[in-house]
Every structure is written in structure tokens, then in C-alpha cells.
Chains A and B, each alone.
Chain A
Amino acid sequence: MKKFDVLYVGLLLIGAFWTFIVNSANDEPIDRVQPCDLVDIVAQTDKYMTTDELARRLMSDDPTLALIDLRSKTEFEKYSLEGAINIPLEDIVNPEFKDAINQDVLTVVFYSNSSDLSAKAWMLTKRLGYENNYILKGGLNHWVETILRPREPKETASRSEFENYSFRKAASAYFGGGSATGESVVTKKPKVAIKRKKKSAAGGGCD
């Protein structure tokens, strides 16, 4: 009797150790970021897209742009950039959205109210190995300041600043600027279907 008891209890212990080991090994991707990797990632300077750049792309109807709004659903519905999809930050690693973010072809731009949430999202996805992700520098707050309600440069400003300002004024008109918290005037449906787009040889298959 005693021998079997030991066997059964032993089985339970083995099972428990197995779960523990499996559980610890599981923690890799998000939790255990190697410090050296982190420094490299953070040092990358090409992770930003300025508001000007974004405005330019939107105005030229750039088809390779995929905007991801990281805020909550209510905020998204109140105001969002045209063509943006809403994926709240906490869902960013949800496998359901993986194909929208892990893209070979499109340029994915994260935005939120400031750079804060988008920087976090960018870090996460970079750690997971996704490419082609960018942060809207300054977020929506900066978008409002620069594009929707651009400020006139001082008289002593440089020529390029004035040129930039003209561009911004035009952009402001295009995007219906003036009241930043108003509804997005141009509301197009999101252009990106949640399907993984692969680079295919020209002429291969029709969609």
C-alpha cells in the first residue's frame, strides 16, 4: 500500500515541477527584455514620423499607410484620424490584431494623445520582431498644434519655417482644422483589411 502511495504522490510532484518549468520558460517575450537589446532599440532614431510627414502622406492618399489609434474606444469614436483602426494599447499583443501590425508592405503608424502610449506599443512590437512600425511624434496633441491649428512663425523665423507654415495651413484646411475636438470631417473607412499582405511578384494573382 505504502509503495503505491509514494508512486502517486511522486507523479503529482513531477507534474507540478513540469508546470513550474513550463511556466517560467513562458515568460520570455515581454517580461525578460535583455538590457543590451533595449538600448539598441531605444537608440534607433528612425522610429518617428512627424506630424508634417503624416499630413503629407494622408493628403496624397498614400495607400501604404496604416494608422493605429491606441486609445480607448470612446476616445476613438469621439475623434480620430481618417482611416485609422482602433486597437487599444492593452490589446496590442492580441493575436487577433497581429496581421494588422506585423506588416511587410504597409507603413504602420501608432498614435495616441501624446507619444506616450505609442512609444510603449512601438517598444512591444519591436521586441516581438515586427518591422515597419512608427510612432507619430507628439501624438494627437502635436497634430492639433501643428496641423490643425498651426501657429504663425515669428517674423524673424527662417524661410523654411514659413514654407512649412503654408503647408500646414493648407493641411489644416484639408483636415477641417479649427476645432480640434470636432468630428473628423473626412471619415473614410479604414483602408487596411486585417489580412497579412505579403510582397508578391508583380502580376502574381489578383485581389
Chain B
Amino acid sequence: MGPLFPLGTIGEELNMLIGFIIGIGFGFLLEAAGFTNTRKLAGVFYGYDFVVLKVFFAAAITAAIGLFLMNHYGLIDINATFYPKTFWIPTLIGGLIMAFGFLIGGFCPGTSICAAVTGKIDAMIFVLGAIIGIFGYAFTYESLWEDLRNSGKMGRTNIAEWMGISDGLFILLMTIVAAVTFFAVTRIQKKVTDKHDYQL
């Protein structure tokens, strides 16, 4: 019954090794999907390449379905796993700042690391910038950020519960919306790229 490490079934060393192996899978897939190409990433905002949207939702839905079913069939105890606490104000504001970061920098932390190690110089600079940003944030934390970061506390909020529907229904709705979106963006992408070859 999972999760194995928090429940003591496997030791710390093995846990770290598994983290490494899972990372290999993640990194491989990100690169294989083309996330090291900054123009492909930005494409989601301009309509010429929706790879970000497709991968993102496919991953989230797969994980949501998988975890729900595993929890239901007793293979995992979802309450013992990491569950982020919701702080809606800093997440919203932080998200907006990240949106700027994404459009200006063309990466997000995970993809920038993948790209940097495969030779993309712009990504290396991005990673450098991110570290500078974190340093800056850290040293001004108490004066500028701390209160904001702890505001809007909602605890561990499940979105289905918050909306008043069951988990299963939410997952189904999310998947249907995603499927419709996939269909729509595929057509949009075709229309946009037919007009102009973006040479991705």
C-alpha cells in the first residue's frame, strides 16, 4: 500500500534513488515532447503550437485518474502523500508574475533546466536569472514578501469539494473539457501554421 516511503516501507536511500529514476523519466519525456525549444513553449500563447497545453492536461488528467483509482482500490493512501496547502492570494499574484516570466523568458524552471543541460544558452541564462531571483526574494523576504506569502490561507482545499461536487465528477468534467479543448486547439494550430511556417 503506497505511498511507500512515508509509510516506512522503503528506506531513505532507496527513496532518493527512486526520485532520481523518476526524474530521468520526467526529463526524458519533457525533452522528447520538445519542451527544450523555447519557441514551442511560447507557442501556446500565440496559437502556433499547443504542445504545452496538450502535455500539461494529459499529464494532470492521467495523474488524477490514476491516483483516484489507486486510492479507491486501496493501492495508495492519498492522505499520506504530499498535498499542497492553498493560499489563494500569493498563488494568484505569484502566478501572474510567473506569466510575465514565461512570456519574457520563454521557460519555466523545469523546462529551463532540461534545455540548459542540452545546450540552449538562453535557458542557461534563464536558470541563472531564476537563481538570482530566488536570492533576491530570500534576502528581502521578511521585509517584502512574508506577509503576502502567508495570506489567503485556505488549508488543504480539494477543488471538487470546494465546488460541491464529487471527485469523480470533477475529473470527468475536466477530461471532457480538455478533450474538447484538444480538438479545438488542433484546428487552431492547423489554421495558424498553414498561414506561416514557424520552423519549429
Contact = CB atoms under 8 A, between A and B. Distances in A.
Interface of A: 5, 8-9, 12-13, 15-24, 26-27
B171 A19 contact: yes
Nearest to A10: B179
B186 interface: yes
A10 to B, nearest CB: 9
Contact of B175 (A5, A13, A27): A13
Contacts of B66: 15
- Chain B interface size band reads 20 to 34
A-B CB proximity, top 7 nearest: A23-B168, A16-B175, A20-B172, A15-B65, A20-B168, A16-B172, A19-B168
A197 B44 CA distance: 63
Nearest to B178: A12
Given A8-B58, A23-B167, A18 B69 contact: yes
Contacts of A15: 61-62, 65-66, 69, 175
Nearest to A17: B172
A16 B58 contact: no
A3 to B, nearest CB: 13
A5 B189 CA distance: 14
B88 interface: no
B166 interface: yes
Interface of B: 58, 61-62, 64-66, 68-69, 72, 166-169, 171-172, 174-176, 178-179, 182, 186
Contacts, number: 60
Give the dominant DSSP class at A's interface.
Answer: helix
Contact of A23 (B58, B61, B166, B186): B166
Contacts of B172: 16-17, 19-20
Nearest to B57: A12
A11 to B, nearest CB: 9
B138 to A, nearest CB: 40
A12 B137 CA distance: 40
